[in-house]
């Protein structure tokens, strides 16, 4: 089956962060393609990728970038597809520079942006976008949300049962 989500990053050093998006897509059974495409070092490759993605069946692009973080915005300017930007934490500014770069897009060129380093949410957002036209995927998203709710309720029940001090001790000993 052709991939529906393109997961791209500016450098292989971004892969540990972007793994979260890949894992979520795999969990939901959404096929992906993963590529290293640098806005600065391989600009022609970036242009070709962005312009051809929709013709190859890609429906959503997740673009991770650190530092100057131009990849998500540049790709968004070249494709009709939704682009989700993932600010990758950097050594010097912890990803704040990337976040600012990605969210400061001019009017007309939107890039949905998740929290610094939170590629998992980018994967979930991509899945939710696809689910708007796929009933089976929508059901999986609803089940996932139900599981999240049940997890929180189980934690609340345990907190009530053992009290906050014991709950906190158990949390700290699990670390």
- Tokens 């899945």 locate to 127
The SS3 call for residue 32 is strand
Annotated ligand binding at 91? The verdict is: no
Q: Which residue, among 40, 37, 34, has the nearest Cα to 50 in the 3D structure?
A: 37
Is 14 annotated to bind a ligand? Reply is yes
Spacing of C-alpha 96 from chain mean position: 16
Check the annotation: does 98 bind a ligand.
no
**CB count in 10 Å sphere of residue 21:** 29
Cβ(89)–Cβ(122) under 8 Å? no
Q: How far apart are CA 64 and CA 33, in angstroms?
A: 14
Residue ranges of the binding site for substrate: 11, 14, 41
Residue ranges of the binding site: 11, 14, 41
């Amino acid at each position: 089956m052709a991939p529906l989500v393109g997961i791209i990053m500016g450098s292989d050093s971004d892969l540990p962060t972007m793994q979260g998006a890949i894992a979520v897509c795999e969990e939901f059974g959404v096929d992906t393609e993963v590529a290293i495409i640098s806005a600065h070092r391989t600009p022609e490759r970036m242009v070709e990728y962005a312009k051809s993605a929709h013709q190859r069946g890609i429906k959503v692009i997740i673009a991770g970038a650190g530092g100057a973080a131009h990849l998500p915005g540049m790709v968004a300017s070249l494709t009709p597809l939704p682009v989700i930007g993932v600010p990758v934490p950097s050594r010097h500014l912890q990803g704040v520079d990337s976040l600012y770069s990605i969210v400061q897009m001019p009017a007309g060129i939107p890039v949905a942006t998740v929290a610094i380093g939170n590629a998992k949410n980018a994967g979930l957002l991509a899945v939710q976008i696809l689910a708007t036209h796929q009933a089976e995927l929508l059901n999986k998203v609803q089940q996932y949300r139900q599981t999240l709710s049940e997890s929180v309720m189980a934690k609340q029940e345990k907190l009530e049962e053992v009290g906050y001090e014991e709950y906190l001790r158990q949390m700290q000993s699990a670390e």
